[in-house]
Amino acid sequence: MSTDRFANFRRHYSDSAMHRKMGKLTDSLREGAIILLLLLRDPDTPPMVKLLIVGVLGYVIFPFDLLPDLLPFGFTDDLAAVTSVLLSLRHHITEGLRQQAKKWRPGLGVQGETS
């Protein structure tokens, strides 16, 4: 058995898919998703919190969702999912993490790092 508890989830996630989807999101949804992505990459984030984040980010990048993204209100379900997770994890989100999220740029990642 693998010692990596998230291996099964990781095979369904890719940074490139996340970056493609990020470019299409509204500003508030993009910032929330970036905060969650940064929290996911933080080594101090507890495993159960990471599992919740993987679930919601997976939903955001999944091409088929409850409301198709091509509809004028298509990101509503994504926004609701991200917002509810952000609210439940608000005690894990630091001001430094929020500042990092504001520096994120599509294709560049955070603080100019290539991804």
Instruction: Give the pLDDT confidence score for residue 115 in this predicted structure.
Output: 43
CA atoms of 46 and 31, how far apart (whole Å): 21
Return the structure tokens found at 2. Answer: 């693998």
Name every residue whose Cβ is closer than 8 Å to that of residue 24 and which is 6 or more positions away in sequence: 69
Instruction: Give the pLDDT confidence score for residue 52 in this predicted structure.
Output: 94
Return the structure tokens found at 79. Answer: 């926004």
Instruction: Give the pLDDT confidence score for residue 79 in this predicted structure.
Output: 85
pLDDT tens readout for residues 68-107: 655 556 677 888 889 999 999 999 999 999 998 888 765 5
Instruction: Give the pLDDT confidence score for residue 90 in this predicted structure.
Output: 93
pLDDT tens readout for residues 23-43: 666 777 888 888 999 999 999
> Within a 10 A sphere around the Cβ of 25, how many other Cβ atoms?
20
pLDDT tens readout for residues 94-104: 999 999 888 87
pTM: 0.67
CA distance to 15, 66, 97, per residue, from 69 (Å): 20, 9, 27
Has residue 108 got a pLDDT over 60? no
CA atoms of 37 and 26, how far apart (whole Å): 16
Strand partners, 105: 109
